[in-house]
C-alpha cells in the first residue's frame, strides 16, 4: 500500500525504535545507541526526532514507560514493548519489505 512522504519517514523511525526494543527494555539514550550499533554507525537518530517519536509511539500504546535505575546507578525512564507493539513491529516490517522491493524493481528497470 503506498504511503505519503511524511508518513514514510515517520514510520521508518518508529519501526527502528520498536525493533530496538524487541530485544528488551531500554531508556531513550540507550535506544539511540542501539540503533547506531545495529546499523554499524550508519543511522544516527537525532534527539530532536527520537523523543517526539517515543512519545508518539507511547500514545499509540505500542510501548510503555517505567522509571528505573540505569547501569551506572542513575534514575532513568525505561521503555518496553507491549504485545500490541510486537504486532505493530511485524506490520511495519512487512510494509517496509514490500516498499523496498517495489523501489528496487523500479530502479532495476532503468
Partner 1 sequence: MFWLRLIYSRLYGLLRKNRIEQEMDDEMRFHLLMRTRENIERGMRPDEAEREARRRFGNVGRIKDLARDIKGGGFMETLLQDLRYGARMLMRNPGFTLIAVITLALGIGANTAIFSVVDAVLLKALPVNEPDTLALFEWQAGSSFRTNGASGASYVPGPPGTKGDSRFRSDIFEKLRAQAQATDSPLSDLFAFAAVSGVTAVTSNQAETVNGQAVSGGYYAGLRVRPVLGRAITDEDDKPGAAPVVVLSHQFWQERFDANPAVIGQPLKLNRQFFTIVGVTPPAFNGALQVGYRPAVTLPLACGPLLRGEDAATAKADEPDWSLYLMGRLKPGATYEQARDSLNGAFQAAALAVMPPPGKVNEPAQLDPKEYPRLLAQSGSLGMQDMRRRYSPTIYGLFIVVALVLLIACANLANLLLARATSRSAEISVRLAVGAGRWRLMRQLLTESALLAALGGAVGILFALWGDSALLALTDKDTGVLPEGVDLSLNWRVLAFTLSVSLLTGALFGLAPAWRATRPDLATALKQSRRTTGAVSRLGKGLIVAQVALSLLLLIGAGLFIRTLYNLQRVNLGFNQENLLLFRLQPKQGGYKGERLLQFYQRLFARLDNLPGVRAATFERIPLIAHDNSFADILLPGETEQTAAEHNTARQTARENYFATMEIPLLRGRGFTAQDDQRAPKVAIVNQTFARKFFPDDDSLGKRITVIYTKREVEIVGVVADTKYESQRMEIKPLLYTPWLQEGDMIGTMHFALRTTGEPTALADTVRQVVRELDSNLPVTEITTQLARSQATLGQERLSARLLSFFSGLALVLAGIGLAGVLAWSVSQRTNEIGIRMALGAQVADVLRLVVWQGMKLVLLGLAVGAAGGYVLQRMLASKSFAPASWEAQKANQLYGVTLTDPMTSIVIALLLVLVGLLACWIPARRATKVDPMVALRAE
Provide, rounded to whole angstroms, the least separation between the CB of residue 22 and partner 1: 21
19 versus 58: smaller Cβ distance to partner 1: 58
The x, y and z cell numbers of residue 86, run together, are 510486537
Provide, rounded to whole angstroms, the least separation between the CB of residue 36 and partner 1: 11
- Note the residues at the interface with partner 1 (CB under 8 A): 4-7, 10, 27-29, 46-48, 51-52, 55-56, 58-59, 67, 70, 72, 74-77
Contact (CB, 8 A) for 36 and 44: yes
47 versus 97: smaller Cβ distance to partner 1: 47
Contact (CB, 8 A) for 82 and 62: yes
Provide, rounded to whole angstroms, the least separation between the CB of residue 104 and partner 1: 26
List phi, psi (to 5°) of 32. Answer: -60, -45
29 versus 104: smaller Cβ distance to partner 1: 29
Give 62-94 as a DSSP string.
SEEEEEEE-TTS-EEEEEEE-HHHHHHHHHHHH
67 versus 108: smaller Cβ distance to partner 1: 67
Provide, rounded to whole angstroms, the least separation between the CB of residue 59 and partner 1: 6
Q: Which residues pair with 66 in a beta bridge?
A: 78
Amino acid at each position: 500500500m503506498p504511503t505519503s512522504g511524511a508518513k514514510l519517514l515517520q514510520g521508518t523511525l518508529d519501526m527502528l525504535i520498536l525493533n530496538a526494543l524487541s530485544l528488551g527494555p531500554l531508556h531513550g539514550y540507550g535506544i539511540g545507541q542501539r540503533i547506531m550499533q545495529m546499523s554499524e554507525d550508519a543511522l544516527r537518530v537525532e534527539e530532536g526526532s527520537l523523543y517526539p517519536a517515543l512519545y508518539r509511539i507511547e500514545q499509540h500504546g505500542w510501548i510503555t514507560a517505567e522509571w528505573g535505575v540505569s547501569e551506572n546507578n542513575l534514575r532513568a525512564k525505561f521503555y518496553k514493548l507491549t504485545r500490541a507493539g510486537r504486532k505493530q513491529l511485524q506490520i511495519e516490517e512487512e510494509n517496509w519489505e514490500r516498499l523496498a522491493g517495489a523501489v528496487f524493481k523500479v530502479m532495476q528497470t532503468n
